Amino acid sequence: MTVEVRTVDLPDAADEVGERGDRFRRHHELAIRVADARYAPGVLDLRPDERLAAWASSPSERHVRLEAVDGDRLLGAADLWLPMQESTDVLDFGTASDPALDAAEARAVHRTLVAHVLAMAEAQGRIVVMGGSPGLATAAPGSAAIAASTGFGAADPADAEAAPLVEAGFALEQVYRVSLVDLDALPDLPERLAAAHERSAGYRVVAWEGATPAEHRAAVRALHERMSTDAPVGDLALEPEIWSDERLAEFEEQKTRGGRTIRTVAAATPDGELVGYSRLFAGDSDVARQHDTLVVREHRGHGLGMLLKLANLAELATHHPRHRRVTTWNAEENRPMLATNEAVGFAPIAYEAVWQRRQSKEQS
């Protein structure tokens, strides 16, 4: 097997006729098989047009898709994300290989992709490189597993995705727990939501679908900014984000391009100030995906985290009755969020590791 790495030129439309379109559709199929193997079949499904939107560059983030091929055979791929507004010294990437490859072939594909990504990072002056691999809940005593520097979660250094990162000197910074809740297992959701409203007496919930209404845009921009500073990121070198009105519009447009919708709930004080929010995406798949949840510091501990999560699940059940399951990604050290999600009924389905490498001056 030889492994050649090339940049993929994405088509303008998912059904574009010709070579670009055909190549994209092969990548889409690979992405489905990788997600099915990593999580469970159907849990992270996107339609081709939703996938194309997810891989689009925006003014705040540039995306590059690489492919690893042996002649006509697609062996694997990498997604590179280059923040353009802050953290502009960072390159964040993930690699994937065809689940049909054997362990040695997979390792060769990931190793070649990682080497290519590091060369691109160097060429573009991105001195902080973040990479992903499967993770573990804990490092079993006596095992070779590497513990995350947060103290929560681990990764297997022999894993085909992790091994080239370890070899290249990446440090394991953080582990994310991927969890799933099944609304069919929450028949008492209305009663629990009523109890959550009682616990958070004095606050009310505002809900909307799609783009944020004009009267809430300033507050939602501020909540997105808080999300970038308040959600734990361990020692990952990520800078606070600044959300302009254009950035919010662009984010909402990109996330809904391809047919997905965003459902948002926000917690309001009696005088109408929004002090927390929770957003999720619902697309063609029957599994919705949780996005941000945040309660501003001054209003934490009043049950608003729980209220927002339950309220958005209830909104989903009402407006998108076909979406009976929701996935969420949480840092394993984020006890307040995990405590809420566990109490809601989310259960772990996978763990994902985030690694970081700083190019030294000599390397760059």
- Binding residues for ligand COA (CB under 6 A): 230-231, 293-295, 300-306, 330, 334-337, 339-340
Residues 6+ away with beta carbon under 8 Å from 51: 14, 28, 31, 258
Contact 354, 130 (CB under 8 A): yes
Q: Smallest distance from the beta carbon of 336 to ligand COA, in angstroms?
A: 3
Instruction: In whole angstroms, give the CA distance from residue 248 to residue 253.
Output: 8
Distance CA 292, CA 248 (A): 13
For residue 133, how far is the Cα from the chain centroid?
Answer: 13
- Give CA–CA dist 31/51, Å, rounded: 9
* Count of beta carbons in the 10 Å neighbourhood of residue 34: 19
Nearest to 281 by CA among 249, 325, 340: 325
Q: Which is nearer to ligand COA, 163 or 311 (CB)?
A: 311
Which lies closer to ligand COA via its Cβ, residue 327 or residue 340?
A: 340
Closest CB to ligand COA belongs to which residue?
305
Of 281, 213, 288, which is closest to residue 248 (Cα–Cα)? 213
**Rounded CA separation 306/169 (Å):** 40
CB closer to ligand COA, 55 vs 176: 176
Nearer to ligand COA, 24 or 152 (CB): 152
Nearer to ligand COA, 163 or 275 (CB): 275
Closer residue to ligand COA in complex, CB, 6/199: 199
Report, in Å, the least distance between residue 352 CB and ligand COA.
13
Shorter beta-carbon distance to ligand COA: residue 14 or 178: 178
Residue 320 neighbours by CB distance under 10 Å: 17
Nearest C-alpha neighbor of 24 from the set 44, 12, 6, 10: 10
